Structure 1
Amino acid sequence: MKQNSSAILDNVYAKDFEALQLSIGASEKAIGLEVSKPILNGQFRYHAFQNGLSMHSVNATEQQDASNAIELPPGLSINFIFSGIVEFEFAQQSHTLQPIDDEASCSVIVNSRQEVMKRRMKKGEYVEKLNIFVELPWLESRCQSSIDRKNLNSLLSRTSVLSWTPTKQTQKKAKRLLKLDQAMSFMQVMHAEQLTIEILTQCLNDLNNRIEPHNDAATQLLNDHSLRLKAAINEHLEVHNTVGDVASALNMSERTLQRKFQRHYGECISSYIKQRKMEHAKVALLINRKTVGEAAYIAGYKHTPNFINAFKKLTGMTPSAFVRSNQEQIDKKHQA
């Protein structure tokens, strides 16, 4: 990916976020958003430095009561909140980020798999924040030893959101990155990338100090090989629906794949495939605005009624009710 950047001073529209989403390989759906009207008034800037590492900053007032749902790839999303309140849902849990005792707060979304995040905006809310996003392959490419890989795998073994008050030094660096000139020269881009990596390094150190080691058997089995195995399976699930098809794509027998998956993750691969396919269906319904029939096809079901029954068994509601419920939750939040 080529270096990419954008800077906007004044009204910011939904289309202005498209390059940012493309830089991290994310897909998005706006809910209750009037695309012809600005969503922010102030400063918005982003820069994609190299494959898998990007930053964006906001120093603006939100102009609409709306939400957006975005599917994040595996990696870390680091947020520094200097002013305002940021609300979002991730992994079916609600989170609120804001400064702590007049100091910037830092939060990290640890995303071990493709996961949907829903961000809520409130008209009139002034927000000053910095985000650094780093994808898993970028982190993996920096590992120099088996110990590095083991530590990274442990860090990303569970999807979670962690928050703390960063050190004064880290806050200063984040503020400097936030305040860099909108139109950056070659040397300024180099400086911004250096600052971004320094902040990322400090946050990784903070994370390692805050995450307790997992002693359960399933987590201990989550080593470098197992991460690669699941990543390969997830890639083939885009076009294959059955264990046999995935095994063939990986050049192994179905029984071998079943044994390996059970050994590494402590669960049945067929159950995992059904779960992942349902997650794909949720994204299709909520973000890509697919019909129930289209979502059924994506989930690997030939008959829509069978998909509806399976979806209801998993989530407690039909696909149509799932979409309505997400819209109603957003509407209620905005009315509160």
Structure 2
Amino acid sequence: MTNYLQLSNITKTYGHFTALDDVSLSVDKGEFVTFLGPSGSGKTTTLMIIAGFEKASGGKVEVGGRSISELAPHERNIGIVFQNYALFPHKTAVENVYFPLQMRGVSRVQGLRQAEDMLSLVGLKGFGHRHPKELSGGQQQRVALARALVFEPSLLLLDEPLGALDKNLREQMQIEIKRIQRSLGVTTIFVTHDQSEAMSMSDRIVVFEKGRIEQVAAPLDIYHRPQTSFVAAFIGESNLIPAIITSGAGKTAENPTLGAFQYAGDDALADGQKVTLLIRPEHIKLSRSPVEGRKNARMIVETIVNYGDNALVIGRAGDIPMRVRVLGADVVIIKEGEECCISWAPDAVFVITK
């Protein structure tokens, strides 16, 4: 892979409000990168600046080593799919897909042939004669994707394209979009606030917060090794425990309520340093009595949320709120209002210094 899309020191201000603050990012050719973050974090603004629909207050955007910052949107050769699809209601599916080729001067015979081929690639062979109103939401989404890809764009930008679909169809389209992206090798930027979409589809995730990039990493690194407390809290469910390093050499930390316990990791931390300890709920064992060889604590169970195959047990260990994820069959050992034992191994504890 080679560096393909480069954002350098991008800023965007609206009067006194700073929407983007010194955003820099490198994306490899053929990579699938997801912009993830809460509403107002800057992810969509960054996408619109790449597309050319917003002009950056500072910084530059390069694709393939060439600056596109001063180019109009239609000059950037970028394919875009929005949440609302934006299909022409009076045109058939194949005519919708042909439209960007028509704008580029491709003959009708050749263009319609390319459009039909692209519809086949997205799983809509034989649907070209239908109008948007004759297609389901998922089929319309595929037409919009085909239209964005038919002219072989330099980049594919997807702005929350699955937000209007129901859960099952959304999961199906996640798989389909990734399959199509891999088969074409198109460099893709995907914007979402849905963590499961980001985790399941991305080569890398870019986590935004308050106009800045908090972390860029592969999905499992984002989940297991978050670099800031915000990322740890935003991605998945977390137990975040304030602590002080009592022995950096011995990898020991202490919380006033839970006492001293070991943590894993290679970083050398200074004695007395304030940190946040992350323990994911699925790494905690729930039992009636202490488990030998693990750090144990007593927890009062407040709420049990059953999901069928698993359950989330919510409670408190002293003044520390705790969440434990257990298999559905295992939750029968405890009831709401009862006290239980929770335990974890040192390698389940990740230290966050920011």
TM range (shorter): under 0.3
Structure number with the higher strand fraction is: 2
Which has the higher Rg, Structure 1 or Structure 2?
2
Structure number with the higher helix fraction is: 1
